[in-house]
């Protein structure tokens, strides 16, 4: 049997990255003592009003085929949202609605790059980026993100890795897994290198609404970046609604024109009732985001307090998002072994940093999406684990 090269390229880049998570999910069915701190699933339901909007829309007959670009009411809401910050004029022609940021990223890579092209991305990176980039055939050009710079990408490090093949700089702010947030000043420092190498700038802004203190900055706000920027986002995190699979791409018209046949070929349109609910979500402030921000910041601080002053681990307070990193400081200790052993001995499931690229290898990522009490219990177990020198 012969399969496409694409299937070979991404063979190990799918669920292999989530082995510990999948194992924990499986065992949890029979063992309630397992504490799962693996994935970024909001721990609250979406607002009732969003479900109502969806329901009303279905009852009103919005269950038919739609056009491939997105429903006009949702496109209008997106134009309105992004026009407030964009350095260039926007219209519906700048948007394409897709099922989530994941699909939006996939469509973007398939539209812009192919074999022999390079995609520059900060390492550690969100676990699925490798698959998204490699699907297109392009190579990952990983740029180390340093703890001493708060994991913000540095122009100097981009220049070290850049080559004539580099076509895209993929940014993710707020960042998963580090919780770093790029400021407008930091984005401005990327202008020259983007212009010099004529890079597309792809900006994954899915955690935009979950910043604890700093204000959000997007390359779309910066005149010299706006024309080369492609923003991808969704209501998955901002509205605690990942299961609705509702996201979008914002890009220059010619990019959307090229992307549209790809979306039509794969999806043959969106779900109008999801579009109606998303329109409401985009036009109104998200109460879910306000609550999540407060919860996640408090829980991150709780972990920092509980695990302070322990020699071999260091909790790193994030600036945003749903996760906190623990740095493993022990010489020769491997975060993968640490994570697996912690799971086996103390039933605390975390994500080993190796799932997030080479530079993640000394870290564990803990999700902040469980109640405070359970997080506290997880911290006690981590301390017991370290005391017993189980790694
Ligand atoms: C950085 C980042 N981008 C994209 C996604 C996927 O988001 P969506 O549910 O909108 O596809 C996630 C999900 O965890 C993420 O962390």
Encode pLDDT of 86-109 as tens digits: 999 999 999 999 999 999 999 999
Indicate if the pLDDT at residue 389 is higher than 80. no
Say how far apart CA 184 and CA 155 lie, in whole Å.
14
List all residues whose CB is within 6 A of at least one atom of ligand 1. 40, 100-102, 126, 172, 176, 204, 206, 234, 236, 242, 247
- For the CA of 172, the nearest atom of ligand 1: 1
* 186 and 251 within one domain: yes
Number of domains comprising the chain: 2
Domain shared by 267 and 326, yes or no? no
CATH number of the domain where residue 32 is located: 3.90.1150.10
Helices and strands counted in the chain (H then E): 15, 13
Same domain, 114 and 196: yes
Q: Do 333 and 198 fall into the same domain?
A: no
The token duo for 209 is 């609404």
Q: In this structure, are 199 and 91 located in the same domain?
A: yes
Residue 342's nearest CA partner among 19, 20, 15, 16 is 20
CA of 54 to the centre of ligand 1 (A): 22
CA of 18 to the centre of ligand 1 (A): 14
Q: Is 66 buried (19+), middle (13-18) or exposed (0-12) by CB count in 10 A?
A: buried
Domain with residue 75: its CATH number is 3.40.640.10
Say if residue 191 is in the same domain as residue 320.
no
332 pLDDT more than 80: no
**Residue whose CA is at the smallest distance from ligand 1 atom 16:** 176
Ligand 1 mean position to 242 CA, how many Å? 9
pLDDT digits (tens, 9 = 90+) for 108-152: 999 999 999 999 999 999 999 999 999 999 999 999 999 999 999
By alpha-carbon position, which residue is closest to atom 7 of ligand 1? Answer: 101
d(CA 312, CA 323): 20
Domain boundary residue, one of 226, 250, 283: 283
Mean pLDDT, range 241-256, rounded to an integer = 97
53 with 74, same domain?
yes
| CA 324 to ligand 1 center in whole angstroms | 16
Please tell me the distance from the alpha carbon of residue 275 to that of residue 60, in angstroms, as a whole number.
13
- Cα–ligand 1 centroid distance for 390 (angstroms): 33
Mutate to test the pocket of ligand 1, among 43, 101, 240, 267 (most ligand atoms within 8 A of CB): 101
Same domain as 366, residue 224: no
Q: Is the pLDDT assigned to residue 17 strictly greater than 80?
A: no
> What separation in Å is there between the alpha carbon of 345 and the centre of ligand 1?
30
Across the chain, where does the E strand assignment appear?
Answer: 35-36, 95-98, 118-123, 139-144, 166-172, 200-204, 229-234, 247-250, 313-316, 323-328, 348-349, 351-352, 363-367
Q: Which of 283, 313, 334 is the last residue in one of the domains? A: 283
* Residue 136 shares a structural domain with residue 79: yes
Average confidence score pLDDT of the chain: 95
Mutational pocket test of ligand 1: of 236, 282, 325, 356, the residue with most ligand atoms within 8 Å of the beta carbon: 236
Based on the fold, state whether residues 22 and 99 are members of the same structural domain. Answer: no
* Amino acid 172: pLDDT: 98
Between the CA of 14 and the centroid of ligand 1 the distance, in Å, is: 14
Residues 230 and 122 in one domain: yes
Q: Is the pTM of this model over 0.85?
A: yes
Which atom of ligand 1 is least distant from the CA of 126?
Answer: 1
Decide which of 283, 307, 328 is a domain's last residue.
283
Distance 93 CA to ligand 1 centre (A): 24
> What would the DSSP string read from start to end of 216-234?
P--GGGSHHHHTTEEEEEE
The confidence score (pLDDT) of residue 391 equals 67
For ligand 1, pick from 206, 245, 278, 282 the residue to mutate: most ligand atoms within 8 Å of CB: 206
| 312 and 359 in a common domain | yes
pLDDT score recorded for residue 158: 98
What pLDDT is attached to residue 211? 98
- Most ligand 1 atoms within 8 A of CB, residue of 98, 151, 176, 282 to mutate: 176
Domain containing residue 325: 5-45+287-387
């Amino acid at each position: 049997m012969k399969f496409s090269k694409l299937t070979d390229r991404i063979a190990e880049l799918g669920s292999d990255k989530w082995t510990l998570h999948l194992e924990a999910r499986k065992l949890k069915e029979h063992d309630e003592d397992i504490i799962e701190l693996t994935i970024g699933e909001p721990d609250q339901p979406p607002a009732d009003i969003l479900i109502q909007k969806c329901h009303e829309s279905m009852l009103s007959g919005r269950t038919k085929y739609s056009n491939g670009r997105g429903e006009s009411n949702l496109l209008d809401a997106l134009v309105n949202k992004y026009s407030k910050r964009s350095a260039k004029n926007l219209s519906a022609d700048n948007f394409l609605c897709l099922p989530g940021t994941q699909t939006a990223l996939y469509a973007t890579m398939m539209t812009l790059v192919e074999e022999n092209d390079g995609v520059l991305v900060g390492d550690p990176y969100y676990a699925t980026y490798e698959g998204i980039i490699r699907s297109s055939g392009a190579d990952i050009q990983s740029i180390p993100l340093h703890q001493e710079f708060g994991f913000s990408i540095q122009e100097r490090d981009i220049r070290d890795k850049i080559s004539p093949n580099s076509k895209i700089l993929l940014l993710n702010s707020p960042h998963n897994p580090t919780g770093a947030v790029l400021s407008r000043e930091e984005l401005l420092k990327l202008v020259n290198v983007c212009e010099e190498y004529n890079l597309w700038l792809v900006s994954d802004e899915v955690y935009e609404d979950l910043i604890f203190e700093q204000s959000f900055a997007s390359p779309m706000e910066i005149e010299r970046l706006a024309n080369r920027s492609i923003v991808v986002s969704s209501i998955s995190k901002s509205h605690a609604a990942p299961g609705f699979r509702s996201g979008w791409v914002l890009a220059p018209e010619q990019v959307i024109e090229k992307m549209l046949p790809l979306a039509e070929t794969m999806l043959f349109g969106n779900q109008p009732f999801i579009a109606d609910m998303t329109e409401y979500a985009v036009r109104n402030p998200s109460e879910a985001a306000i609550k999540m921000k407060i919860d996640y910041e408090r829980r991150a601080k709780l972990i920092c307090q509980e695990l302070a002053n322990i020699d071999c681990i260091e909790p790193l307070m994030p600036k945003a998002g749903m996760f906190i990193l623990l740095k493993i400081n022990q010489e020769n200790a491997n975060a993968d072994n640490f994570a697996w052993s912690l799971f086996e001995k103390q039933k605390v499931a975390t994500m080993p940093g190796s799932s997030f690229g080479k530079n993640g290898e000394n870290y564990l990522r803990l999700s902040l999406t469980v109640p405070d009490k359970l997080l506290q219990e997880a911290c006690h177990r981590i301390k017991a684990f370290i005391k017993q020198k189980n790694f």
